[in-house]
């Protein structure tokens, strides 16, 4: 493993672009890619699709990860939740419902990471979707939240 992987930050957006607001993570990733983050920041931007299992491998490889997903963490529909490392266990107990990940639920992935004693600093940024039907565009209210989340992430970098 090279030094960039060990000392960097991975920003991973999960979601299905063909399920309306479930595409929130990939849309945020697309916007981040347009910003051309300087290479000295050691940031890797990843469209994670819908595979939660892959997240476990990313957790093992990197000390910091930001996950962007459509999720219900108890916030109102259309609202953003930012879950920091110190709060993840309490949210995992509440069964965070990551709506994009088809093979494993987000709370299950976090429990596996803890059981494997993975020491990655994790931040989850999620939006509670309004529409999850078939379609390739975000609902207007969710789309308006993309710049806010991009700004949050840039502040974290």
E strand or H helix at 114, and its extent? Answer: helix 106-115
Asked if 122 contacts 59 with a C-beta cutoff of 8 angstroms, the reply is: yes
pLDDT at 131: 94
97-142 confidence digits (pLDDT tens): 555 555 556 667 777 777 788 788 889 899 999 998 999 999 999 9
Tell me the CATH number at 51: 3.40.50.1450
Q: How many structural domains comprise the chain?
A: 1
Query: First CA to last CA across the chain, in angstroms?
Result: 22
49-68 confidence digits (pLDDT tens): 877 777 777 777 788 999 99
Share of residues in the chain with pLDDT > 70 (%): 82
Report the predicted TM-score, pTM, of the whole model to 2 decimal places: 0.84
Domain interval for residue 41: 3-156
């Amino acid at each position: 493993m090279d030094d960039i992987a060990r000392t960097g930050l991975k920003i991973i957006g999960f979601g299905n672009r063909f399920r309306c607001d479930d595409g929130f993570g990939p849309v945020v990733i697309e916007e981040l890619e347009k910003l051309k983050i300087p290479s000295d920041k050691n940031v890797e931007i990843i469209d994670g699709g819908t595979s939660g299992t892959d997240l476990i491998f990313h957790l093992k490889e990197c000390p910091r990860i930001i996950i962007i997903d459509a999720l219900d963490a108890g916030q109102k529909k259309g609202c953003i939740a930012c879950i920091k490392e110190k709060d993840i266990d309490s949210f995992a107990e509440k069964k965070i419902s990551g709506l994009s990940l088809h093979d494993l639920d987000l709370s299950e992935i976090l429990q596996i990471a803890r059981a494997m004693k993975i020491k990655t600093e994790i931040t989850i940024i999620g939006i509670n979707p309004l529409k999850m039907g078939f379609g390739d565009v975000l609902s207007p209210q969710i789309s308006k939240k993309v710049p806010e989340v991009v700004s949050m992430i840039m502040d974290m970098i």
